């Protein structure tokens, strides 16, 4: 089975998809709970939406 490629989005798109504020995502990035995948052309931090969804589901449980 092939690994699923990351679905990279910036923090604001991640907020639209999950409802989690960018400030909270920055804290999770700083604490190492979420992986940073570099930056887009505008300099916005990129995260994997699948990883974020899994993390938020584990926090909700």
Task: Give the 3-state secondary structure of the chain.
Answer: CCCCCCCEEEHHHHHHHHCCCHHHHHHHHHHCCCCCCCECCCCCEEEEHHHHHHHHHHHHC
Q: Is 15 contained in some domain?
A: yes
Q: Is 1 contained in some domain?
A: no
Q: Is 3 contained in some domain?
A: no
Q: Is 43 contained in some domain?
A: yes
- Segments forming the whole domain that contains residue 38: 8-60
Predicted confidence pLDDT, tens digits, the chain (61 residues): 778 888 999 999 999 999 999 999 999 999 999 999 999 999 999 999 999 999 988 877 6
pLDDT at residue 3 in the model: 81
Supply the pTM of this predicted model.
Answer: 0.86
């Amino acid at each position: 089975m092939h690994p699923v490629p990351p679905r990279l989005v910036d923090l604001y798109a991640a907020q639209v998809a999950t409802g989690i504020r960018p400030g909270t995502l920055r804290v999770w990035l700083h604490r190492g709970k979420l992986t940073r995948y570099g930056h887009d052309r505008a300099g916005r931090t990129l995260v994997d939406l699948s990883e974020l969804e899994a993390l938020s589901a584990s926090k909700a449980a």
